[in-house]
Amino acid sequence: MTRLLDETARGVYIISATPFTDTGELDLDSTDRLIDFYLEHGVDGITILGVMGEAPKLSAQESLTFAERVLKRVRDRVPVIVGASNPGNRNLKSFVGKVMDLGAAGVMVAPVAGLKTEEQIEGYMAGVVRELGDDVPIVLQDYPQLTNVYMSASLIDRMFAQWPSLKVLKHEESPGLRKISRLRASEAKGTRRRISILVGNSAMHLPQELRRGVDGANTGVAYPEMLVEVCRRFFAGDAEGAEDLYDIYLPIIRHEQQPGIGLAIRKEILRRRGVIKSACLRAPGAVLDADDHKELDGLMARLERKLAAFGGAGADRVRRRSAG
């Protein structure tokens, strides 16, 4: 039986890519390999049909087909969150009902683009919660760089206090470290219950976010073993060791995070690692040129050299996963 998402969500909830063939069709065989890859690398959960999953480029039927394939492959071994943002509440409700019936643990929703005031944002989320009902766990995505919707810490506090079905905040505002501290301070004062906070933004500030009190990562870098091991070390009390390992991966994390071309780089790394057959993005999407490939050659080789020289508990495990 599916374990529904709740406020105890912790660790690495990887954001999955959506594999396509070279001609842009869904590649379900690569989907199976990708899900196996994530599970073998120790993720605590998987999110599909997010920004990294190119969700707006899929038809409604393709989204359901992909969700069903992933959920069947996972077989309730970890929670699966399904991105479900939709400007129409009727469409949102229909899609969410179907993926929850398929075994999703919850859904991720971002406020629709164009909302300007806190009253508008709160009103929109009230309608979403009302449509989905109290039994559907919701991840509230706070990603103003994409949506242009800015939610203050006090607004987030109010919404999580009002609606128990909001379980997790996906925090992606940047810079956003102070916001994390304000949210945790509200909990310490008893303003509302403690919630799970998972962070995105390609893990660009993960060590600092962990120190501020987040529960883990909800992002999609092509080296999930790094996210898993950094979080494992941090939660075991080795914050310095976690950051030392993170530093080794930082050049390639930064390279993956480039606007416009970052997803193409990430998919190419997954292709090179033998996980997906094609690095194709659905049009419109970036395509790497010869110089991009040469840069990636150097960064991946450099990472392997640095990992080979890295010592400490868990280093062998990380190297094996990177090599695999």
288 is a domain residue: no
Closest CA to 221 of 195, 186, 246, 196: 246
Q: Which residue has the higher pLDDT, 19 or 315?
A: 19
**Over 70: is that where the pLDDT of 314 sits?**
no
**Over 50: is that where the pLDDT of 215 sits?**
yes
Note if the pTM is more than 0.85.
yes
Q: Would you say the C-alpha torsion 84, 88, 92, 95 has a positive or negative sign? A: negative
**Over 70: is that where the pLDDT of 16 sits?**
yes
67 is a domain residue: yes
Q: What is the mean pLDDT of residues 288-293?
A: 98
Per-chain mean pLDDT for the chain: 94
pLDDT confidence band for 88 (50 / 70 / 90)? confident
| pLDDT tens digits, one per residue of 149-174 | 999 999 999 999 999 999 999 999 99
Task: Say what the pLDDT of residue 316 is.
Answer: 57
Whole domain around residue 36: which residue ranges?
A: 11-229
| pLDDT tens digits, one per residue of 171-193 | 999 989 999 999 999 999 999 99
155: domain CATH number is 3.20.20.70
Task: Say what the pLDDT of residue 245 is.
Answer: 97
The secondary structure of the chain, three-state, reads: CCCCCCCCCCEEEEECCCCECCCCCECHHHHHHHHHHHHHCCCCEEEECCCCCCHHHCCHHHHHHHHHHHHHHHCCCCCEEEECCCCCHHHHHHHHHHHHHHCCCEEEECCCCCCCCHHHHHHHHHHHHHHHCCCCCEEEEECHHHHCCCCCHHHHHHHHHHCCCEEEEEECCCCCHHHHHHHHHHHHCCCCCCCEEEECHHHCCHHHHHHHCCCEECCCCCCHHHHHHHHHHHHCCCHHHHHHHHHHHHHHHHHHCCCCCHHHHHHHHHHHCCCCCCCCCCCCCCCCCHHHHHHHHHHHHHHHHHHHHCCCCCHHHHHHHHHC
Closest CA to 67 of 47, 88, 85, 86: 47
Q: What is the mean pLDDT of residues 112-116?
A: 92
Q: What is the mean pLDDT of residues 221-241?
A: 97
Rounded-to-integer distance, Cα 187 and Cα 201, Å: 24
The number of folded domains in the chain is 1
**Over 80: is that where the pLDDT of 1 sits?**
no
Contact 63, 49 (CB under 8 A): yes
2 is a domain residue: no
Task: Say what the pLDDT of residue 320 is.
Answer: 57
222 is a domain residue: yes
Task: Say what the pLDDT of residue 315 is.
Answer: 53
Q: What is the mean pLDDT of residues 93-104?
A: 96
190 is a domain residue: yes
| pLDDT tens digits, one per residue of 242-289 | 999 999 999 999 999 999 999 999 999 999 999 999 999 999 999 999
Task: Say what the pLDDT of residue 323 is.
Answer: 55
259 is a domain residue: no
Closest CA to 171 of 129, 215, 134, 231: 215
Least confident of 15-19, 49-53, 73-77, 206-210: 49-53
43 is a domain residue: yes
| pLDDT tens digits, one per residue of 32-58 | 999 999 999 999 999 999 988 999 999
Report the percent of the chain where pLDDT is more than 90. Answer: 90
pLDDT confidence band for 313 (50 / 70 / 90)? very low
243 is a domain residue: no
**Over 50: is that where the pLDDT of 130 sits?**
yes
